A and B are shown apart, each in its own frame.
Chain A
């Protein structure tokens, strides 16, 4: 598929994202125009969108888009700062919508594999001059901020800080040229033009050096205006060819091109020790990669679509049905009448393979990595730590853990609450932290892992921890405790904070303290069948663990047979399985059967007794012992035999059956039968 190159998915993502963002922006602008005002929230949102577009366009070298986005961003920066009252909104909207149209047009070109060659200069000029007009005509609260230069300059996100290097490289057969370019007098943004030149050049030549060196800096504009832009490059092409290239460059007024003697330093040392982002080499590489992509038959187009989840569910069900009907065909009794079935078997095998593949893909469609949700937290941490003046580091681990789409949607809110709580209540003010000999900067660890078919998400902060006494007192006040205090475990005490309206914080802050939040977390997690565990140590920190259930997660399961039934045990819970000799098992006076495994005494749980299954193996030595473990507690399951390993989709038991102890769900076996999935945690505490 299109996954072969590293570039193409990025380009696709860019197209998808930019189009989506421009649509969003359009809506926002239109709504604002209707109400004839830009609310602070809208401006922020527009700003965010513009920034994203600018950033990704610059990254993808679509500088026309980046330029327009930047100009629009400047406009909204002004609006936001000045909280302008008497702005002609329709004019602003006109300009912005024009900008959106331009961006959309460019993206459409990119999508149809053309160069994004639209000229944004006129549009940018419009926006810029209107901005200047605004600044001059409206006496804003911050007139000192008026900087026409800044409005006109594009602060692009790349860094062309190329140092003058002695280790120049001119390959054999290449000639070295020096060009001095003078741009058109009123073209503005000379540094961007200069970058354009370098960029264009890098398509057919290797840029070695240019002057001024740092074209990222706005100050270089004056230098370029006065002295022209000097660039030294090496190319195979002849001088004429290079000249014709320069003629095609936009905004170039005149240029001088001469062959340049580099013999003295003509080394072949192609040093790679240059900073990546400033290395023209990497630009060349990226560019040629893109060209290769364009050359390939795969068309650059949007290959992401949104699909209704219900359709996916149906698809999954249908594939399940396909598997059954396949078994029905291949093991059809009528086939027994045919003696020579070689060809049939061959075809059936192929059929089976395709179906398996189909099943895998359908299963994987619904799974989404947690990365997106986790990344959102970065923003929250940043904003809050700035606002509260508490430096906080967020560490993210295991964001590649995949979770069902439905579950992801329920995770975002609880995580946000937990992170906010951690920063607001958990992490202390900097002086406190210093007094406690902790690093000034607080740390929050956000971690996901799958274990035993469950996904665990933990949020760990190194803050002040929960005050057990305070929680206890508060719980007593509210009459929540109905058993002797000394019988409450720490965990039980901490769990009080999950109750609605329970807050030990007397002050309500902007972010938390109203006593809603933790109960929302608990509610949200319970809704998806998970649970919340809190652990805390005073002055060391608090850990909140969310256990997200199996529901519709794909797990590796081991099938075990007990009588006529097949049960599935999550592979991650299995420690080992073995055949035991009869004399290894013993019974304690309570009738609890046990077995000694390498010095460890483990209880035996006979599944056939527990679930009253008939026709199963009764003698220990005829069946199989499987040690299953969870949370450091183990149990030996006694079953008839192992069936084999299989990836299974976990389905919830029908609502009608409610919960059954020790059963975590059910799944469909390859042959269409269903199998119950054992919930080891439930069995251990059985």
Chain B
């Protein structure tokens, strides 16, 4: 019985492996591993502002009784904040039991990128520093920037933030 269970679990794991949710921020297409994504909320619901937080944390929302913080990825990437429209989505990701909503311009699609099509980002030492990206995926003749969710949620920012409070 337990063997069967394991097989099924492996299978589920397998179906999620190599799949990415892509979304658009500014001009770029980004991708995050599907296993982190718990849900996508279409449209922006009322966000309660929270004082004394970094500007990219837009506030908190109520997700079925669970309070989660939402982060505007545009601002997080130090881009011009875009006004929210009906294409704006909140992508809820769950990492280490930490749920955070990511405000993105537009969710594009779910696609598979095989390991051989993922190349590491340019070395940080070459002067090109982009620690949010953990890989670059090639799909056809476009590229998707694969986000490192852990860094996106930002331990160092969290620490920084703890100091500020």
Residues of A in contact with B (beta carbons under 8 Å apart): 316-321, 324, 564-566, 610-613, 651, 653-661, 663, 666, 668, 672-676
Which residues 29-80 of B sit at the A interface, judged by CB distance below 8 A? 46, 48-53, 57, 60-62, 64-69
Q: Which of B49, B153, B162 neighbours the largest number of chain A CB atoms within 10 Å of its CB?
A: B49
Count class of interface residues, chain B: 20 to 34
Q: Which residues of B contact A564 (CB under 8 A)?
A: 49
B89 within 8 A of A: no
Q: Which of chain A's residues have a CB closer than 8 A to the CB of B162?
A: 658
A-B contact pairs, 19 of them (CB 8 A): A318-B64, A321-B64, A321-B65, A610-B51, A613-B49, A613-B51, A653-B50, A653-B60, A654-B69, A655-B98, A657-B50, A658-B165, A660-B53, A663-B50, A663-B51, A666-B60, A668-B62, A668-B67, A676-B51
- Name the one of B48, B57, B98, B165 contacting A675, with C-beta atoms under 8 angstroms: B48
Is residue B112 within 8 Å, beta carbon to beta carbon, of the partner chain?
no
Contact status of A656 and B48, CB under 8 A, knowing A318-B64, A661-B165, A666-B67? no
Cross-chain contact B52 with A660 (CB below 8 angstroms): yes
Task: Report B94-132 residues with CB < 8 Å from chain A CB.
Answer: 98-100
The answer to whether A676 and B50 have CB atoms under 8 Å apart is yes
B51 A657 Cβ-Cβ under 8 A: no
Chain A contacts for B66, CB-based, 8 A: 317
Q: Is B158 an interface residue (CB 8 A)?
A: yes
* B60 A318 Cβ-Cβ under 8 A: no
Which single residue of chain A is at the shortest CB-CB distance from B98? A656
10 pairs of A and B residues whose beta carbons are closest in the complex = A317-B65, A320-B65, A611-B51, A321-B64, A674-B48, A673-B46, A654-B69, A674-B62, A660-B52, A656-B69
Q: Which of B49, B61, B65, B158 contacts A656 (CB 8 A)?
A: B158
Once bound together, how far apart are the Cα atoms of A655 and B97, in whole Å?
10
**Complex alpha-carbon distance, A612 and B69, angstroms:** 19
Q: Which one of B49, B62, B64, B161 has the highest number of Cβ atoms from chain A below 10 Å of its Cβ?
A: B62
**Which residues of the partner chain A approach B69 to less than 8 Å between Cβ atoms?**
654, 656-657
Q: Is the CB of A660 within 8 A of B51?
A: yes
New contact pairs (13) apart from A657-B53, A660-B52, A672-B62, CB-CB < 8 Å: A317-B64, A318-B65, A612-B51, A613-B49, A651-B67, A654-B68, A657-B69, A658-B162, A659-B165, A661-B52, A666-B67, A673-B46, A674-B67
Closest residue of chain A to B61 (Cβ to Cβ) is: A674
Instruction: Tell me which of A658, A663, A675 contacts B158 (CB under 8 A).
Output: A658
Q: A318 CA to B69 CA in the complex, in Å?
A: 19
Residues of A within 8 A of B53 (CB): 657, 660
Closest to B53 in A: A657
Instruction: Report A-chain residues with C-beta under 8 Å of the C-beta of B48.
Output: 565-566, 666, 673-676
Chain A, residue nearest B97 (CB): A655
Interface contact A657-B61, CB-CB below 8 Å:
no
A653 to B62, CA, bound (A): 11
Across the interface, name the chain B residue whose C-beta is closest to A672.
B62
A59 to chain B, nearest CB (A): 43
B51 near A673 (CB under 8 angstroms)? no
Cβ of B165: which chain A residues have Cβ within 8 Å of it?
Answer: 658-661
Closest B residue by C-beta to A607:
B51
Q: Complex formed: what's the CA distance from A653 to B68 in Å?
A: 8
Contact A611/B52 with A656-B158, A661-B165 known, Cβ cut-off 8 Å = yes
B contact set with A: CB distance below 8 Å: 46, 48-53, 57, 60-62, 64-69, 98-100, 153, 158, 161-162, 165
The distance in angstroms between the C-alpha atoms of A319 and B64, with both chains bound, is: 9
Separation in Å of the B99 CB from the closest CB of chain A? Answer: 7
Interface hub of A612, A655, A659 (most chain B Cβ within 10 A) = A655
CA of A320 to CA of B62, assembled, Å: 9
Most chain A CB neighbours (cut-off 10 Å) among B46, B67, B162:
B67
**Chain A residues with CB under 8 A of B46:** 672-673
Question: Contact at A653–B67, with CB atoms within 8 Å?
Answer: yes
What CA separation (Å) do A630 and B66 show in the bound complex? Answer: 29
A320: chain B residues at CB < 8 Å are 62, 64-65
> Which residues on the A side are within 8 Å of B68 (C-beta)?
654
Task: Tell me which of A320, A654, A673 has the highest count of chain B C-beta atoms within 10 A of its own C-beta.
Answer: A654
Cβ contacts under 8 Å, B60 to chain A: 653-654, 657, 666, 674
Contact status B49-A565, CB under 8 Å: yes
Cα A654 to Cα B53 in complex, Å, equals 12
- Determine whether the beta carbon of A656 is less than 8 Å from that of B100: yes
CB distance from A469 to the nearest CB of B (A): 38
Report Cα–Cα, A663/B57, bound state, in Å: 16
In Å, the complex CA distance between A654 and B60 comes to 8
Q: Which residues of A contact B51 (CB under 8 A)?
A: 610-613, 660, 663, 676
| B49/A668 in contact, CB under 8 A | no
CA distance A282 to B60 in the complex (A): 60
Q: Which of A651, A656, A658 has the most CB of B within 10 A?
A: A656
Q: Report the bound CA distance from A660 to B100 in whole Å.
A: 18
Give the residue name and chain of the A residue nearest to B51 (CB).
A611
In the docked arrangement, what's the CA distance between A673 and B52, Å? 19
Once bound together, how far apart are the Cα atoms of A468 and B48, in whole Å? 48
**Residue in A324, A655, A657, A668 with the greatest tally of chain B CB atoms within 10 Å:** A657
For the complex, give the distance between the alpha carbons of A554 and B165 in Å: 27
CA distance A674 to B47 in the complex (A): 8
Whether A660 touches B158, Cβ cut-off 8 Å, given contacts A320-B62, A320-B65, A655-B98, is no
A316, B65: Cβ atoms closer than 8 Å: yes
Bound: A627/B156 CA distance, A: 39
Could you tell me if B52 and A654 are in contact, using CB atoms closer than 8 angstroms?
no
How far apart sit A422 and B45, CA to CA, in the bound complex (Å)? 53
Task: Determine how close the nearest CB of chain A comes to the CB of B93; give it in whole angstroms.
Answer: 11
Q: Which residue of B lies closest to A671 (CB)?
A: B46
Give the distance to chain B from A154, nearest Cβ to Cβ, in Å. Answer: 52
Closest chain B CB from A251 CB (angstroms): 57
Closest chain A residue, CB of each to CB of B66: A317
Chain B residues contacting A673 (CB-CB under 8 Å) are 46, 48, 62
A52 shortest CB reach to chain B, Å: 40
Kindly identify which residue among B64, B67, B161 contacts A654, using a CB–CB cutoff of 8 Å. B67
Provide the residues of chain A in CB contact with B161, threshold 8 Å. 658
Min CB–CB distance B102 → chain A (angstroms): 12
Cα–Cα, bound, A653→B50 (Å): 10
Q: Is the CB of B61 within 8 A of A319?
A: no
> Which residue of B50, B53, B99 has the most chain A CB atoms within 10 A of its CB atom?
B50
Q: CA A666 – CA B161 in complex, angstroms?
A: 19
Q: Find B153's partner among A319, A656, A674 (CB 8 Å cutoff).
A: A656
Q: How far is the CA of A676 from the CA of B67 in the complex (A)?
A: 11
